[in-house]
Amino acid sequence: MSEIMVRPGTEPVPAAHPEAPAKSGGAVGRRDERGLVSAEWVLGIIAAAALAGVLLAIVTSGPVEESLVKVVLEVIGKLTGLLKN
């Protein structure tokens, strides 16, 4: 009889018989690709962190920072003017 192997958070998958040929797309094929998903997430997170670093460097540069502060102060001034009326 075949054993049932269960990974936390997944449905039970019958274990492949040791002598059975591996089928493409079967449970054995899925097990071989488990680490691939983790690697894709890691690359995505690294890319997002790199992009955030570049954007932070751009936003905190002198001219850009001054422009952003000016825009924020103008918006605050307009909002406070609306509150006074």
Q: Identify the domain containing residue 48 by its residue range.
A: 4-14+23-84
Structure tokens at 44: 């995505």
List 4's β-bridge partners, or say none: 14
Share of the chain above pLDDT 70, in %: 58
pLDDT tens-place string over residues 17-64: 555 555 555 555 556 666 678 888 999 999 999 999 999 999 888 889
CA angle 50, 51, 55 (to 5 degrees): 120
The number of folded domains in the chain is 1
C-alpha closest to that of 4 among 24, 38, 37, 27: 27
Contact 15, 5 (CB under 8 A): yes
